[in-house]
Structure 1
Amino acid sequence: MREQFGSAVPAIVSVGSLELDQQNEEISQQSITQLEQQLSLTAEALLRKQHADGYWCGDLTADSTLASDYVLLQLWLFPPEEGGAWTPPRAQRTAKLVRYLKACQLADGGWNLFAQGEADVNATVKAYTALKIMGEDVDSRCMRAARERILELGGLQACNSYTKINLSLFGLFPREFVPTVPAEIMIVPGSFLYEMSSWTRTIIVPLSIIQGLGAQRTAPSGMTLQELIYPGSPITMPRRDLTSELFLHADKLLKHWERRGVQKIRGRAIAAAERWMLEHLQHSEGLGAIYPSMMYAIMAMDSLGYERDQPDMIEAIRHFDELLLEREDSIEFQPCKSPVWDTAIAAFALGETGEIDATAMTRAADWLLSKEVRRKGDWSAKRPNLRPSGWAFEFANDFYPDIDDTAMVLLALQHIRASNPERQARAEQRAIDWLLGMQSADGGWAAFDVDNDWQLLNKVPFADHNAMLDPTCADITGRVLEALSKRGLGPKHPTIARGVLYLLSSQEPNGSWYGRWGVNYVYGTFLAMRGLIATGDPRAHSAVEKAARWLLSVQNEDGGWGESCVSYEVDRFVAAQSTPTQTAWALVGLMACGKTRSSQVQKGVQWLLANQRADGDWDEALTTGTGFPNVFYLSYHLYRMYFPALALATYRSELTRPALSVQF
């Protein structure tokens, strides 16, 4: 029995459909013509979204916590006046923030982390706090409902460490009950800092400066959050197991050190953190080019006494403000920008369609080549002799090229040609070499680093954000195997062989694979399947067939596929209403192993065609991107276009090939 999540699929006027002869499973020529027309419609819509410089960059949105954190940053930069009153710097923007947060509130009074999800205590506490800071009456209906929901969820005590840390910076949560992030980690011998995930690294370095300096701001006059404390439950540090208990004792020692430690050592550590932060601001759209790190970097520079007109501060604030999607009557926030990712997938999908405007594709190739990272980044701490290459996710983030983007760019460059073919060939070879060098010891690939799997770090007090490490995962490994295999590396190549074994060993008993960076098992499964099939390794045959059976077993009755973010909470597939993105993922995986002519695939294709809008786009109600499972999810606004385009293009192409069970 499958779990079902989400509302029923809304009625949508069909644009087109397939005519299937059930007896011989052949598609009529009329239907193929209809398919080609709708595929062209999508390709044209995608090309219209290409920027003049050659790239694509769709909106990338998340949940309400980004807006709530923005309010805290404004309170930090523009503290209350001497009498305690707070006058926000931009009244019009504040009004938009209030409207936005109220619009995101659920009927039960809470705020969630993903579309159609249940209330989350951290998101709800953050929204309540932001609204209270902005002057919302605590007796208003929305605030009363929020307060009741927070207490139902366990109160302030139930929040994670980072929520409590943020509140403590304004005196809204006791400092003694939040984890210490010691600046002294910057002067610990060895590579301790680089055992943490890249995103944790860029968060804790500026945060260690803020805490190390004892920096704090006041909330507006008389403001507390005492009403959110769950009655009868003590405020304590989280205790999970014996190892965590030992870290809590260490945290007590660190707090004692903060009060009585040798200031010379503390000063040297803070100076080292500042140098690291300033270095990592170079060749980047802000620290780590991601929202939380950028926010803490601004707060850290302010704590260090940087004036607002200092170049580093000006640039940091400018890049942060560029994440805002502010319109005349609304506001929304992006956790980062996704131009390399969007460009690579859009170009790959368009290449598969054959609907290629040569000039547009050359611009895309030239733009991608201009974004290759040729400097050594944090990854080189464990691979010091590896020649730098790779692509970052954002416009500029040179310390953090990532493996997934690099593999996707390689796949895209199969279809598009730059104005300088020799330059393209050299870049492709560098990228291949870099990917080969970034394989972890277990045979898989992670997002940013090699062997970033020191499990002990998951026990530190501030590790409850579920993102201390960057372990290898099936989805990235599958994409890398596909990219390398299509560059001529065969199944006997040792890197490919180890990657195949990694995927075979990480397959779930039901045939699926866990998806780290997309929701969830549908995402991981389609990429693992494509990677295994691309290698041509006969050992993968039964695993791929098992995966195909699993995908077919979770197809919705309407022909599409949909999976809820709840699947991360319960560690198993949870069905949801069909989405264009997840339907496309499933179809691409199934077609890769020869299921194109199956009635299930044709039903899925029909779902895509029937739900396409007249402008070539699709509507998507659910969240399909993953930032940090159970903590942070992403809505890529171009996913619903370029993944269906890829699925429809693959379908058209596969119809001309012989029907095989698995193509090895």
Structure 2
Amino acid sequence: MKTRLDHAETESVQAIVPSAARTHSVLNGHLTSTISLEAIRQALRGAIHYLRDRQQPDGHWVAELEGDTILESEYILLLQFLGKNDPEKFRKLANYIRSKQHPEGYWAIYPGGPPEVSASVKAYFACKLAGFSESEPFMIRARRAILSLGGVTHCNTFTKLYLSIFGQYDWYGVPVIPPELILMPKWFYFNIYEMSSWSRAILVPLSVINALRPYRPIPAHATIDELFVGGKSRKRMRLPWDSRPLTWRNVFLIVDKILKLYHASPIKPFRKLALQRCLQWLLEREENSGGLGAIFPAMTHAIMAYKCMGLPDDHPAIQKELKELAAFEIEEGDTIRLQPCVSPVWDTAISLNALLDSGYPPESEEIRKAAEWLLSKQTRKKGDWAVKVRNVEPGGWYFENENEFYPDVDDTIMVLMALYKTYCHDGRPWTEAPPEVREAMRKGLNWVFAMQNRDGGWASFDKDNNRILFQYVPYADHNAMLDPSSADITARVLEMCSYYGIGKTDPRVKRAIAYLYKEQEEDGSWFGRWGVNYLYGTWQVLRGLSRIGEDMRSERIQRAVRWLHSVQNEDGGWGESCQSYEPGHPKATGPSTPSQTAWALMGLFNAGDLSSCAVQRGIEYLLKNQTDDGTWLEEWFTGTGFPRVFYLRYHFYRHYFPLWALAQYHRFVTGEPAYTPELAQPSTDRFANLEV
């Protein structure tokens, strides 16, 4: 457990001055320090060179995107389903799974996390399919841990469905996902376009699997009967009811019983049409995409659904999905691990913003190539978003290499900021950008504003995707059935508006500001939907409000500043575990990380705090922890997929966010960018001007 530093509201402030070294003094009982601006520039030199050296030949950046072992486990299950049980590949995938096992036997869904029963059951089953015996010491530890967590019956719906395919669970205990949902008209409360985009892409193929219920036999040695507490019986597989009789969960469980009767009936008048529509829907979304939704779960489910519908192994859709999944593989030593997707647009847009804010020349070849690459990734066809947003031309950007049906607001606004800084760096209005760039900007802006929700905020992929009853359906236990407004994305929209001349008097901006203040927590922080967690949300809101011209001296802003001060770690950094998403868990507790320290610092800078003890010690943390090759190290997961279910480690977060924070600090303090011609030269003694 980390310890806190107490920060008095009347904390003494010492001005930042460019000196040859960092110095310390004690004033009125409080440690104060001055960070050398030369040390900042030297750190930026190393960070810029590190990033520049990792740019791809076509101009983009991309680093590994790491998830938990459900990826490797489900990959083994998919290959087993297809009859592609390559012993060597299975062994290497299992080796990676084993490397992530906790000494007490369980698997977590993020480093340092608590036991997670679904991940543990899938890991155990995958290892058995890979040929490991239940008598292996690591399997004995795993089995003991799983049974202590309640066994297989405590797994989530998706795990139970996978196990049912291989005869390891009873379909009776799996909630029905009726394919007839796809036939529901768009005005009907329960239709697929009222689900989040990722749920839609996952559940449409799962509904096919659920309806056709394939069976794939497995070797006798691979069964997992030993993971059932009290033995494997159908009675124990029943879906649990709420103890209170009148709850939405119980209502939907009654509906599930009716759907089970319908499934068992020989007369299902709409089933054939529904399956045909599902197949058509899936095949349409194969076009201009890196696989269905370009995300691992949807792609694996799509392959299984195609096979259930009778498509041959050599069908182009199946071959494409398998090829895209193979591209997610990373073979290293005697292991193979999987990425859940790839993040080139996101990585490139943030890298550009960080470099350009450091003063890196926008006319340089590196910047121009990256900007041109981003321009090539703008969507040109309407996707699922157009069901609710009619009469708006495409203009968003997606996250991956190709995902035409699913652009998102967050990537779009990050790209728009990068394009403005590249082509309008001298302060000219965006309407004076080169014609092809101006047209891309216009389409992007129009698309973003068309996606604003009724509550004034913005979500990621969909508009007004907030029908709360979806959260109570029995197969909603992946905790992400909806895509409502989030403070982090809404605030970043405001940041983008500031570059495009859209100010506080604009009605859309007024609504967004009101939404953000409504979402502020009592302690001053903001929830972070797409980064862990309150550090991420608070940084982005402070940045957005500052850029749009809010009074950063106001009490509600200073309350956020005091909160950031209060959660600083003893080592000067900030950190927050994924556990902060769990109800009742303290906010912003965890080991310091470079990315989260950078977020906290940028929040403080934008709130006007440039010289507090907290800021000084935070910058010192970044400077001290930079490696000799100019980057930072970070093992913790600081990205969020589905809160409480799936988290991510972006391998570039440890780098471009600290770079961005140091660049912003230099610009705030001096009024000038840090980059100079001298900074372009590699440093031979990066810490020459920093006394440690």
TM-score, scaled relative to structure 1: 0.92
Residues in 2 aligned to 1:263 and 1:214: alpha-carbon distance in whole angstroms: 15
Aligned mate of 2:341, from 323, 336, 341: 336
**2:660 paired with 1:652:** no
Query: 1:385 maps to which residue?
Result: 391
2:118 aligns with one of 110, 116, 122: 122
| Superposed displacement of residue 17, structure 1 | 7.3
1:306 partner SS: coil
**Partners in 2 of 1:536 and 1:239 — Cα distance?**
51
**Where do 1:227-376 residues align within 5 Å?**
227-231=226-230, 234-240=236-242, 242-356=247-361, 358-376=364-382
CA distance in 1, matches of 2:413, 2:92: 39
Partners of 1:133 and 1:396 in 2: how far apart?
33
Given candidates 476, 499, 508, the residue that maps to 2:521 is 508
After TM superposition, give the deviation of residue 543 of structure 1 in Å: 2.2
The corresponding residue for 1:10 is: none
Displacement of 1:546 = 1.1
23, 45, 48: which one aligns with 1:19 = 23
SS of the counterpart of 1:643?
Answer: helix
The answer to whether the 8 A contact 1:362-1:417 is kept is no
Given that residues 184 and 266 in structure 1 are in contact (C-alpha distance below 8 angstroms), is that contact kept between their aligned partners in structure 2?
A: yes
The separation in 2 between residues aligned to 1:575 and 1:223, in whole angstroms, is 40
Match in the other structure for 2:10: none
Q: 2:413 aligns with which of 407, 414, 420?
A: 407
CA contact (8 A) 1:566 1:574 kept: no
**181, 187, 191: which is aligned to 1:185?**
181
What secondary structure, in the 3-state scheme, does the structure 2 residue paired with 1:179 have? coil
Pick from 612, 625, 634: which aligns with 1:598? 612
8 A Cα contact 2:552 2:608, kept in partner: no
1:328 Cα deviation from its structure 2 partner: 4.2
- 1:39 partnered with 2:53: no
Shift in Å at residue 486 of structure 1? 2.2
Gaps of 5+ in 2: 5-19, 425-431, 673-692
In the other structure, the counterpart of 1:527 is 540
CA contact (8 A) 1:76 1:217 kept: yes
- Cα 1:223/1:32, change in 2 over 3 Å: closer
Query: What is the deviation of 1:188?
Result: 1.5
Q: Tell me the secondary structure at the aligned position of residue 511 of structure 2.
A: helix
Specify the SS of the correspondent of 2:215.
coil
* Whole-angstrom distance in 2 between the partners of 1:579 and 1:17: 24
Q: Could you tell me which residue of structure 2 aligns to residue 611 of structure 1?
A: 625
| Structure 1 residues 613 and 33: alpha-carbon distance in aligned structure 2, compared to 1, 3 A threshold | same
Match of 1:496 in 2: 509
Instruction: Decide whether the 8 Å contact of 2:2 with 2:589 is kept in 1.
Output: yes
Does the 8 Å contact 1:169/1:217 carry over to 2? yes
SS in 2 for 1:107: coil
Q: Mark the CA change 1:32 to 1:429 in structure 2 (over 3 Å): closer, same or farther.
A: same
Distance between the aligned counterparts of 1:181 and 1:544, measured in 2? Answer: 45
Q: Deviations over 1:558-577 (max 9, x none)?
A: 11001111111134404111
CA apart distance, 1:98? 2.0
SS in 1 for 2:605: helix
Counterpart-to-counterpart distance in 2, 1:549 and 1:264: 62
Q: 1:147 aligns with which of 126, 143, 146?
A: 143
- Cα distance in 2, alignment partners of residues 532 and 361 from structure 1: 28
Over 3 Å counting, the alpha-carbon distance change for 1:424 and 1:508 in structure 2 is same
- Per the alignment, residue 581 of structure 2 pairs with 568
Cα distance in 2 for residues equivalent to 1:219 and 1:467:
32
Match of 2:582, SS state, is helix
Which stretch of structure 1 is more off in the superposition, 290-299 or 476-485? 476-485
Q: Distance in 1 between matches of 2:323 and 2:671?
A: 52
Q: Would the aligned equivalents of 2:194 and 2:467 in 1 still touch at CA under 8 Å?
A: yes
Q: Tell me the CA shift for residue 183 of structure 1.
A: 0.6
Amino acid at match of 1:173: Y
2:260 & 2:101 partners in 1: Cα distance? 37
The residue identity in structure 1 corresponding to 2:23 is E
Mapped to 1, the partners of 2:515 and 2:208 lie a distance apart of 39
Distance 2:205 2:105 in 1: 33
d(CA) in 2 for partners of 1:68 and 1:176?
24
- Which residue identity does 1:359 align to in structure 2? E
Asked if 2 retains the 8 angstrom alpha-carbon contact of 1:17 and 1:606, the reply is: no
Letter in 2 for 1:231: G
The one-letter amino acid paired with 1:567 is S
Give the counterpart letter for 1:564 in structure 2: S
Query: Residue 463 of structure 1 aligns to a residue in which SS?
Result: coil
Rounded Cα–Cα distance in structure 2 between residues aligned with 1:158 and 1:624: 27
Query: 1:336 is aligned with what amino acid?
Result: C
How has the CA–CA distance of structure 1 residues 489 and 261 changed in structure 2, closer, same or farther, with 3 Å as cutoff? farther
1:326 is paired with a residue of what secondary structure?
strand
1:451-490 Cα shifts (integer Å, max 9, x gaps): 1000001111101110110111111111111111221111
Give the TM-score, by structure 2 length: 0.89
Partner of 1:200: 199
Deviates more, 1:250-259 or 1:524-533: 250-259
**1:634 aligned onto 2:648:** yes
Match of 1:447 in 2: 460
SS at match of 2:397: coil
* 2:601 equivalent in structure 1: 587
Q: Deviations over 1:34-89 (max 9, x none)?
A: 221110110110011110111111100111110000110011000xxxxxxxxx64
- CA contact 1:373–1:390 (8 Å) conserved in 2: yes
Structure 1 contact 580–644 (Cα < 8 Å) conserved: yes
Q: CA-atom RMSD, angstroms?
A: 2.1
Matches within 5 A, 1:24-103: 27=34, 31-78=36-83, 89-103=85-99
Q: Rate the CA distance shift 1:405–1:540 in 2: closer, same or farther, 3 A.
A: farther
More off after superposition, 349-358 vs 119-128: 349-358
Alignment partners' CA distance in 1, 2:621 and 2:129: 46
Q: 1:40 touches 1:355 (CA, 8 Å); kept in 2?
A: no
In structure 1, the residue corresponding to 2:236 is in which secondary structure? coil
Give the superposition deviation at 1:578.
Answer: 0.6
